[in-house]
Amino acid sequence: MNGHPTREEDFDLFALGALDNAEKQTLEAHLAGCSDCVRKVAEARGRIALLAFAAPRVEPSPELKDRLIGQVRATPRGHASDAIGGPRPARGQFGRWWAAVLVPVGVALVVASIFLWNENRRLDQQLARLRVVLGEQQKQVEQARAVATLMAAPDTKVVALASMPGMPNGAARVAYNAHMGILVYDGQLESAPANKSYQLWLVPTKGEPISAGIINSAGGGTSYWMTKLAPGIDAKAFAVTLEPAGGRPRPTGPQVLVGPVS
């Protein structure tokens, strides 16, 4: 065991005294300088202490009590041991027999409980990961439905954006529905220069350009995404500008792609 124990059950086995001498000595030496492992050992001892209360209490039936009391009363003094099962074993022998039977059983129950606890925790973690995956899949399904609705709407406008002279090569297409306030961007651009970002703008028929998002151009690949804007904004054009990294509230850089709404 080098450094921190690699098995969580080692803390429980240490608390039970079930580690072999070499592992026990190694862990004891490690505990002298590791407060985190000391805390884990304390937690393990707390879990094991709770096992003492895990077994349900069983009360003897009234008939068994009456029969035992009757046998004791009917037996002459000094021979009560015969009435309840014959000669009583010596205290030392009885204690050794009790320990020989119950200690292995108790250790087995504790180890089984630790295993089940660890397995339950592993399943909880796996379930949490599956919930995250399911959530992402639901988002993708909802986005696909929204895009399908957008493209099927008769008032959706599809605008082609072309690169401007002297600017990085690229092309894009924007599908926009002013009534729904939904915009879909699908385009390809060369990678943005260092400390720069491409930013998409909706140029309305009235007022200042409205930011429609930052375009991820890492590696010069294709970008495809959907965004929602305030509904009811009529567009006369769309443009992509080159801005400082992270974008700006208003366009400040050169226009890279431009597409008028016909």
Residue-wise pLDDT for 166-224, tens only, equals 998 899 999 999 999 999 999 999 988 889 999 999 999 999 999 999 998 776 678 88
258 neighbors 208 (Cβ within 8 angstroms): no
Reported as a single tens digit per residue, the pLDDT across 137-155 is: 888 888 888 888 988 999 9
Strand order in the sheet with 255-260: 210-215, 196-204, 235-244, 255-260, 157-163, 170-177, 182-189, 222-228
pLDDT at 69: 67
The residue-averaged pLDDT of 125-142 equals 85
Cβ contact 4:37 at 8 Å:
yes
Residue 135's pLDDT is: 86
Provide the 8-state DSSP code for 211. Answer: E
Question: How much is the pLDDT for 84?
Answer: 45
Report pTM: 0.52
**How would you class 26 by CB atoms within 10 Å of its CB: exposed for 0-12, middle for 13-18, buried for 19 or more?**
middle
Query: Which pLDDT does position 80 carry in this prediction?
Result: 45
CA gap 201, 239 in Å, rounded: 5
